[in-house]
Amino acid sequence: MSWRKEERRAERGYHHGNLKEALLQAALGLIAEKGAAGFTFADAARMAGVSAAAPYRHFRDRDELLSSIAQRGFEQFEARLTAAWDDGRPDTVTAFERVGRAYLAFAREEPAFYNAMFESGLPVDANPALQAASERAFNVIRAAAERLAALAPPGAPRPPAMMMALHIWSMAHGVASLFSRGDAARRKLPMSPDELLEAEVLIYLRGLGFPTDRGPPAKSAEPPPVPPEASSGSGVPPGGNPGGPWGKPK
Amino acid sequence: MSWRKEERRAERGYHHGNLKEALLQAALGLIAEKGAAGFTFADAARMAGVSAAAPYRHFRDRDELLSSIAQRGFEQFEARLTAAWDDGRPDTVTAFERVGRAYLAFAREEPAFYNAMFESGLPVDANPALQAASERAFNVIRAAAERLAALAPPGAPRPPAMMMALHIWSMAHGVASLFSRGDAARRKLPMSPDELLEAEVLIYLRGLGFPTDRGPPAKSAEPPPVPPEASSGSGVPPGGNPGGPWGKPK
DNA sequence: TTAGCTATGTGAATGTTATTTACATTCACA
DNA sequence: TGTGAATGTAAATAACATTCACATAGCTAA
C-alpha cells in the first residue's frame, strides 16, 4: 500500500497543478461527511496526495480554507435564491415560496456549504468578504420581500419589507437547521420540511393580510396565478398543497 | 507561577473531591468563550487543577462531557420554558409570547448551553437520554400550542397543534441562531431579536385567525387579557409594542 | 484498628493535528 | 538558458485526545 503516494506523485509530478481547487473539493467532501468540526487540514492534504505542509501555500491556515468554502457557499446560495425568485414570476407569492423551498433545497443538497456557512462557528462578520457575500445572499430575500410588501392590500398597514425579509429568513433557517439536515431530520414529523416551511410562510403572509389564494381569506389583488411552471426541483409539487396550508397531504 | 499546581494540590489533597462538577463548570465557561469547537478537554482539566488524564475517570471522552452539558442544558431549557408558559396565565396568547421570549433569553443568557445543545454538531438522536431531554423541552412548546389550537376561532379550520408547535419552534430557533447570539447579532437590525420574534409570532397567529388584540383583525374570543404582569426579564416591555406588531418602536 | 477493595489521580507513553522552517523542484520568461 | 517566483517536501515544535501502569485516599468488613 505504501507505493500509493509515490505512484500518485509519479502520475502528477512534483507539482500538483491544481492543488487549491483540489483542496477545496476534498474539504467539501470531508465536511459533508464529518462536519466542519471534524474536518482536518491534514486529511484534505492527504486526500489531494500532497504533504501536510503543502496546503499552507494556498491558505493561511485551516480557517481560511473554511472561509473560502463559506464564501463560495454564499455565492452559490445567492445564485440559487436568485434563480428561484426568477424576478417574481409567475406571481410574487408563488415566486416567494419558491425561494423558501430553494433555501431548504440548498441546505439539504449542499450540506457542506451550509455547514461551513452557518454551523462552523466562523466569525462571519470578522471577514469583510464573507460578510459581503452573506449580505448579497440575504439581499435576494430582501428584494423579494420588497416586492411582496408593495403588494400589501389597500387598507392594511404596509409592513416594513426589511422586517418581512428577516422573518422569512428566520423561518427558513429555523426549519433548515432543525428539521432539514443531519440527525435531527430523522425526527418524525407530521409533514416534510418543505411542506412545513410552505405552510409557515403562507400562514405568515395571510397574517399580513396577503391573499394566499389557498386558504379561507382569499381575494386576489394580483393577476391570477399562471399555471405553475416547472420549478427548481425541490421535491414538492409546484403550487403547494391545495386545500390550504394544512390540508392533509394527499 | 509554577508553584500554582502544587499549591492547589496542597489545598485540596490528592483527590479533588468534586471533579466531575468542576469539569462541567470549567467546560461551560470555556464553551461560552470559545465555542464547543474550541473547547478542549485538556483545558478543562487544567482549569480544575488536575492532570489531563483525570477527566477520564468521569467521562468516557470529550464527547461525553459535551453530551452531559447538552443534557443539562435541555433540562434547564425545559424548566425555563415551563416557567415562562406558567400554565397559560394570564391568557394563552400572552403566555405563548412569553415562551418565545424565554427561548431567546435562554439562547442569549446561556450561550454555552445553547451552543452545546444546538451548535456543537452532537448527534442528538444517537444518545437516547439527550434525545429524550430534547423531546421534553419541545413538549412544553407543544403543550402550549395545544392550548392555543383549542382556542381557534369558531369558524376557521383548526390548525394541528403539532404543526403550530413546529412552526413556533422554527421561528424561535431561527431568530436565536441568526440574530440573537455571537457575531451575527451585531448585524444592524431594525429591531431587537425579541421584538422581531414577537412580531413574527403575532403575525403568524393572526394568519391562523387568532385574535391578537394588537392589530387590525381583533375580536377576542377569550376573556380580555389581564393587565400584563412582570414577565421573565427579557428586555422587552411586557405586552409588546402597542399599535400592532410593526408599530414603530418608541 | 486495619487489610484490602474501589474510586480517583498522576506521569509517561502513543498517535494525530496545526503550523513553521529550511531546503528542493519546477515554471515562466527575459 | 539562467534565474526568481511559485509550489512542494521533510523535519521539528507544540498542543491534544486517549491509554496504561502505578500511586493514593476513602471506606468497609473483619
Residues in chain A, pLDDT under 50: 1-8, 10, 215-243, 248-250
In this complex, which protein residues place their C-beta within 7 A of any atom belonging to strand D? A 9, 14-17, 19, 50-54, 57-58; B 13-15, 40-43, 52-53, 56, 61-63
Q: What is the pLDDT of residue A245?
A: 59
B190/A244 touch (CB, cutoff 8 Å), yes or no: no
Q: What is the pLDDT of residue B203?
A: 96
- Burial-class residue B18 by CB neighbours within 10 Å (0-12, 13-18, 19+): exposed
Q: What is the pLDDT of residue B182?
A: 62
CA A5, C1' C3: Å apart? 60
Q: What is the pLDDT of residue B248?
A: 47
Nearest chain B residue to A127, by CA: B183
- Give how far B29 is from chain A: nearest CA, Å: 17
A157/B183 touch (CB, cutoff 8 Å), yes or no: no
**pLDDT at B207 > cutoff 50:** yes
Interacting residues of A141 by C-beta distance below 8 A, sequence separation 6+:
A81, A99, A165, A168, A169
Chain A contact set for B120 (CB, 8 A): 37
A166/B189 touch (CB, cutoff 8 Å), yes or no: yes
Q: What is the pLDDT of residue B1?
A: 40
Chain A contact set for B160 (CB, 8 A): 190, 246
Percent of chain B with pLDDT over 70: 78
A124/B37 touch (CB, cutoff 8 Å), yes or no: no
A109 touches strand C (CB under 7 A): no
Interface A:B, Cβ pairs < 8 A: 144
Q: What are B135-193's pLDDT values in tens digits?
A: 999 999 999 999 999 988 877 788 999 999 999 999 999 999 999 876 555 567 889 99
- Across the interface, of B182, B199, B208, the residue whose CB is closest to A203 is B208
CA B13, C1' D22: Å apart? 18
- Give how far A129 is from chain B: nearest CA, Å: 15
Bases along strand C below 7 A from a protein CB: 7-13, 16-22, 25-27
Chain B contact set for A166 (CB, 8 A): 179, 189-190, 196
pTM listed for this prediction: 0.85
A206/B207 touch (CB, cutoff 8 Å), yes or no: yes
CB B91 within 8 A of CB B225: yes
B8 touches strand C (CB under 7 A): no
- Lowest-pLDDT range, A106-110, B105-109, B184-188, B235-239? B235-239
Chain B contact set for A38 (CB, 8 A): 121
A171/B171 touch (CB, cutoff 8 Å), yes or no: yes
- Lowest-pLDDT range, B120-124, B141-145, B207-211, B228-232? B228-232
CA A47, C1' C19: Å apart? 19
B47 touches strand C (CB under 7 A): no
What is the rounded CA–CA span in Å between residue B22 and residue B65?
12
Q: What is the pLDDT of residue B13?
A: 76
Instruction: Output the nine-digit C-alpha cell for A214.
Output: 389557498
Chain B contact set for A149 (CB, 8 A): none
- Across the interface, of B174, B186, B197, the residue whose CB is closest to A173 is B174
CA A58, C1' C25: Å apart? 18
CA B49, C1' D22: Å apart? 20
CB atoms within 10 A of CB A40: 15
Average pLDDT of chain B is 83
- Lowest-pLDDT range, A147-151, B46-50, B78-82, B208-212? B208-212
B121/A119 touch (CB, cutoff 8 Å), yes or no: yes
